[in-house]
Amino acid sequence: MEKAVKPSAKTQKNASERRWGMVIDLDRCTGCQACVVACHAENNVPVVGEREAASGRTMHWIRIERYWEGEYPNVKARFMPVLCQQCTQAPCEPVCPVFATYHTAEGLNAQIYNRCIGTRFCGSACPYKVRVFNWFRPEFPEPLGEQLNPDVSERSRGIIEKCSFCIQRLRRAELDASASGNPLADGAVQPACVQSCPSSALIFGDMNDPESHVSRLALSHRAFRLLDFLGTDPAVIYLKGGETNV
Partner 1 sequence: MSDQPEPSGGKPTPPESLEPSEQVRGRLLLDQRTDREIDEAVLRPMFETGPRFWILVGILGAIVAWGIYAWIYQIYWGMGVAGINRPVYWGLYIATFVFWVGISHAGTMISAVLRLLKADWRRPITRGAEAMTSFALMMAGLYPLIHLGRVWKFYWMIPYPNNRFMWPNFQSPLMWDMVAIFTYLIGSTLYLYLALIPDMAMARDHTDGWRYKLYRGMALGWRGTQGEWHKLHRALSIFSVVIIPVFLSVHSIVSWDFAVTIQPRWHSTIFAPYFVIGAVYSGLAALAAILVIVRRTMRLQEFLRSEHFDALGKLVMVAGMGWIYFWFSGFIVEWYGNDPVIRELIHEEISGGLAPFFWLQMTANVLPVLFLAFRRIRTNPAFLLALALLINVGMYTERALIVFGNLERNYLPFNWGTYRPTWVEVSVIAMTFAGFILLYTLFSRIVPYVPVWEIKEGRLRYSLRRIGRLLVPTAAEIE
Footprint of partner 1 on this chain (CB under 8 A)?
A: 52, 55-58, 63, 65-67, 80, 82, 91, 94-99, 115-121, 123-125, 127-129, 131-137, 156-160, 227, 230
Nearest distance from C-beta of residue 33 to partner 1, angstroms: 14
- Closest contact distance (angstroms) between CB of 149 and partner 1 is 23
Burial 160-184 (b: 16+ CB within 10 A, else e): bbbbbbbbbbbeebeeeeeeeeeeb
Closest CA to 192 of 14, 66, 36, 49: 36
Cβ of residue 209: shortest distance to partner 1, in angstroms? 30
Q: What is the 3-state secondary structure (H, E, C) of 109-146?
A: EEECHHHCCCCCHHHHHCCCCCCEECCCCCCCCCCHHH
User: Which residue number, 45 or 184, has a Cβ lying nearer to partner 1?
Assistant: 45
186/228 with CB nearer partner 1: 228
Of the pair 33, 119, the CB lying nearest partner 1 is at 119
Nearer to partner 1 by Cβ, of 118 and 187: the residue is 118
Instruction: Specify the 3-state DSSP secondary structure of 40.
Output: helix
Tell me the closest approach of the beta carbon of residue 66 to partner 1, in angstroms: 7
DSSP string, 46-58: PP--HHHHHTT--
Shortest distance (Å) from residue 29 CB to partner 1:
14
Please report the sign of the dihedral spanned by the C-alpha atoms of residue 39, residue 42, residue 46, residue 48.
positive
Of the pair 156, 178, the CB lying nearest partner 1 is at: 156
Separation of alpha carbons 167 and 229, rounded Å: 28
Cα separation, 162 vs 130, whole angstroms: 7
| Residue closer to partner 1 (CB basis): 14 or 55 | 55
> What's the min distance (Å) between Cβ of 82 and partner 1?
7
d(CA 194, CA 199): 10
